[in-house]
Amino acid sequence: MACDDLWDFLIAYSYQRGILRDMIGNPFRPTPAGDASRRSWQSATVSQLAAAIYDERSFERLPLLADALEDAGCDDHELLAHLRDKGPHVRGCRALDQILGRE
């Protein structure tokens, strides 16, 4: 395998790994299903913003959603960190699906 081929493979592998982690999370640190305490921060603003991000595939706006969640009282640091992470993020993002109730 040539050096360029190896580099291309590693880049593609890293991207695909990021997408998989976005969709299923870290298998070694599973997050609990949406319980009542997680839903206490579910406001109209959060729901509308999450739905718009999902429908428009505007995943670059996920940090805004993290800010809205924090303002609504969310203290799930893993969820907030995931939303603020540069991604890649795709439809099927576990955090966005959790917020939208699509778990």
Residues spanned by the domain of 23: 3-27+35-100
DSSP state of 59: G
What is the count of structural domains for the chain? 1
Rounded Cα distance between 1 and 15, Å, is 20
Q: Which two tokens stand for residue 83?
A: 């939303």
Is the pTM higher than 0.75? no
> Which amino acid would we find at residue 44?
A
What is the CB neighbour count within 10 angstroms for residue 23? 14
> 79 to each of 7, 26, 58, how far by Cα in Å?
31, 12, 18
Q: What is the pLDDT of residues 1-60, one digit of tens each?
A: 556 776 676 666 566 666 556 556 666 666 555 554 556 777 888 989 999 999 999 989
